[in-house]
Chains A and B, each alone.
Chain A
Amino acid sequence: MSEIALSALPDLSGVAVRQQSAAKRILKRLTPFLFVAPALILVLFWVYRPLVQTFGLSIQMWNMNPNVEPVNVGLQNFQYIFTHPDFFQAVWNTFLYILLMLPFSVILPMAIAIATNRLSSRAKNIYRAIFFLPMIMPPVACSAVWRWLMHPINGLFNHLLTSMGVVEEGVRFLSDENWVLLSIVLIAGWKMIGFSTLMFSAGLTGIDPSYYEAASVDGHKKWRQTLTITLPLLSPTIMLMLMMSVLMTAQWTFAYIDVLTQGGPAGASTNVYYLLWTYGFKNFNSGLSSAAAVVFFIGFGILALIFTRINRKVAFYDN
């Protein structure tokens, strides 16, 4: 544009130069935005637009039928979810899921990663591949196999438990309200160990080996090295996995709840996302679903904020 302007107006070179520099300046400022524009537009369209829409839907009653006009109901949807027990049950269950998931997403993977870190690279890879394998298996197929393993009469687990005399009658892993949540955590945890181990392994690779050499020269024992070098330098990874685990457990467990228990018995295994899904896509009540989504969005947002604050204080970065 500016070039054409230049050639068309050769006499007013001074003005043109000034114009050119102004245009160039603007272009220069715009360039970075142009580069991120495709990503930005996609994010705006696929993340922020639905987010805003969710807020809108949460104050309406609508069955998602395009021929039906949504009815504005104000805060009625919020009133419904806060006065009915299934919401609180889902929140409490989600809390339990998060708590019980931590050993599988943080503690065990960290132990595995540290334990296999000093092995020869081939042995290390084999071990880690074994742990990673569940991650790449499709959840629905896994669920079917776990259901057979956990079957109260025909299942392998109960066969072993009864033949060893641990229990007299088969444990109803998926239909006993005291067991079902634990069973789902076990399955989802088994699946997540691989991913977390991989993350911790990556964290370990980033630690400069010269620290260990120095510590060895000083005569520090292995466990002491782990405690004083590995753990502090791994703290960013630990914090990251902790945050991911807390924020994502409800999603990680979703597929297994859906296939194995549908949230039952009597809501004992449901979680916040499954509740959302039931409201929205089983009962076709987008208002309740969105209202619950708004509440969870705010809740998880606050959690994320707290985590980033803690992260700044606790995590130690080795520059």
Chain B
Amino acid sequence: MKKRKLVALLAAAAMFVTMGTGCMTTKATDSAGSGDGDGKTEITFYTYNLSIASQKEAAQKLIDDFNAQSDTVHVTGVAADVMTMQTKIQSDYAAGQTFDVVQCALNQVGYYVDNYKLPAFEDVAGQAAFDEHMEGFAENAKTLGQYRDGKTYVLPYTFSTPMLYYNADLFRDAGLDPDAPIETWDDVKECGLALKAAGHEGVQITATGDGYDWLIQAMIYSNGGDVMNEDHTEVTFTDPNTVGAISMWQDLVKSGAHTNYTDTEAQEAFLAGNQGMLVTTAALESGLISAAESGGWELKAAPFPSFEGKESVPTNSGSGLCIMSSDPEKQAAAWEFIKYVTSAEGYTTITSMMGYLPLRPDIVNDERYLKSWAEEHPFVHTNLAQLERLHRWEGFPGMNGGQIGTLLNQTVTKCIFTDCDVASEMQTAQSQAQDLMP
């Protein structure tokens, strides 16, 4: 009896093993098949666009299109979860098994260069080839991936600026003219109150829910404030203009023009056609457009609103690409791939299918690329115009940089959604943050 059991167990184990090897062989043939098996350099691409439902298709298309046209390189995309990406990159790096091309948030350029051994694009490609590729790239975007030494370690890839989206049907219902320009926060407040009076919801600036501070920084810069002094040794949360920006925001909420929902809730309400205005990243645009189409309401967009008498200063959300492989052959292959996805063809896919900015602005006037698309999607011009006034999304320095960003986010959340005294809250945050600076 016991023996029989043992035999059965062994048989099962043997089956399991064969099954396993069976799977592995098929897998190997599969990848050889798609890689053509003729000595192409295999590289991996770690990207979070592959894990976002509305962007997955476009991200995969970029990879497939590249593989189809390249004779020397084959790229495999690996989906990254935005929240756990950093942890995984760090542990992979420790284990000496990094992905070859990695998507990294643009406020982390300093951190990446300080902590990982990244090659500069100028060195991988050669200065001349790099300069040639960067021709036609938006001037303000070029510098975002540069480190202190003036070299580019992260090539800006998918990013966007904040925009004000609004529901024209709700505007009409509230007796507002949806074609009248909305320029300042005063305009936004007025519209928000009118919407509220008509039984709809006003505006929500979705700047705090993701736990980051890029859009918070845009609010602060737009009022002439700052989060750090010039040489990045002191935080400046108590700067009168910084405090002023947050106070204005708090007033929007207090007046009722700004809803006090979680950002996800506000976004859902906007998609459902119940929320009048939403200030958010243009990366969500494709989702907003399809929601408006299926919901049967008219979506309109305005530039990121400004403070009275000042020009608004948008920041960049989003990411760039860096090369993490230390193998020269793979580095060269990675450059080929990055060159492709940041080319005119690449940005045609990125902009038309994901909604991020075409960082080669000229292609919106080019028949071969985005001209016809841009005619149907005039928002892209608004978004591109903002690129001219772009301020870098700053990352706080040192080992506690992330902690400071979270602290700023939490303090601002508290300020805008409660009746607290903004100046004193920011004062507290200032002293806490300063302790965390290196």
Contact = CB atoms under 8 A, between A and B. Distances in A.
A80 B436 CA distance: 10
Nearest to A267: B410
Contacts of A65: 90, 93, 115
Interface stretch (B72-80, B322-330, B380-388, B395-403): B395-403
A282 B90 CA distance: 13
A261 B262 contact: yes
B268 A283 contact: no
Contacts, number: 100
Contacts of A177: 417-418
A80 B432 CA distance: 9
A84 B90 CA distance: 28
Given A84-B432, A284-B402, A285-B400, A266 B413 contact: yes
A61 interface: yes
A191 to B, nearest CB: 20
Interface in A264-294: 264-267, 278-279, 281-285, 288
Contacts of B84: 281
B16 interface: no
Contacts of B233: none
A163 interface: no
Contacts of A262: 209, 211
B241 interface: no
A68 interface: yes
B399 to A, nearest CB: 4
Interface in A151-190: 151-154, 172, 174-177
Contacts of B83: 282
Contacts of A63: 115, 399-400, 402
A265 B406 contact: no
B426 to A, nearest CB: 14
Interface in B190-216: 201, 208-209, 211
Interface centre among B84, B208, B400 (most CB of A within 10 A): B400
A66 B94 contact: yes
Interface residues of B, number: 36
A151 B90 contact: no
Interface in B94-153: 94, 115-116
Contacts of A23: none
Nearest to B273: A154
B261 A152 contact: yes
A266 B418 contact: yes
A319 interface: no
Contact of B261 (A66, A68, A175, A267): A175
Interface string A1-37: 0000000000000000000000000000000000000
B262 A266 contact: no
B265 A147 contact: yes
Contacts of A174: 262, 265
A150 to B, nearest CB: 9
A279 B399 CA distance: 12
A266 B250 CA distance: 14
Nearest to A62: B399
B410 to A, nearest CB: 7
Query: Could you tell me the dominant secondary structure of chain A's interface residues?
Result: loop
A140 B368 CA distance: 43
Nearest to A66: B94
A64 interface: yes
A154 B115 contact: no
Interface of B: 83-84, 86-87, 90, 93-94, 115-116, 201, 208-209, 211, 260-262, 264-265, 268-269, 272, 274-275, 399-400, 402-403, 405-406, 410, 413-414, 417-418, 432, 435
A67 interface: yes
B274 A172 contact: no
A264 B402 contact: no
Given A65-B115, A175-B417, 7 more contacts: A63-B400, A64-B90, A80-B435, A154-B272, A175-B262, A262-B211, A285-B402
A37 B219 CA distance: 60
Between A62, A148, A264, the greatest number of chain B beta carbons within 10 A of the residue's beta carbon is seen for A264
A64 B87 CA distance: 9
Interface in A125-158: 147-148, 151-154
B274 A154 contact: yes
A64 B410 CA distance: 23
A282 B410 contact: no
A66 to B, nearest CB: 3
A68 B398 CA distance: 11
B376 to A, nearest CB: 29
Contacts of B262: 174-175, 260-261, 264-265
Interface in A53-111: 61-68, 80, 84, 86
Q: 5 closest Cβ contacts across the A-B interface?
A: A66-B94, A266-B414, A283-B403, A283-B402, A63-B399
A58 to B, nearest CB: 15
A286 to B, nearest CB: 10
A265 B253 CA distance: 14
A282 B400 CA distance: 11
Contacts of B93: 65-67
Contacts of B410: 86, 264, 266-267
19 contacts: A61-B400, A66-B94, A86-B410, A152-B269, A153-B265, A153-B274, A172-B261, A177-B417, A260-B262, A264-B413, A265-B413, A265-B418, A281-B84, A281-B87, A282-B211, A282-B402, A283-B402, A284-B399, A285-B400
Given A151-B265, A154-B272, A283-B400, A278 B260 contact: no
Given A68-B115, A262-B211, A266-B413, A153 B90 contact: no
A68 B268 contact: no
Nearest to A76: B435
A148 B268 CA distance: 9
B268 A151 contact: yes
A153 B269 contact: yes
Contacts of B274: 153-154
Nearest to A71: B399
Contacts of A266: 410, 413-414, 417-418
A265 B115 CA distance: 33
Given A147-B265, A153-B201, A278 B406 contact: yes
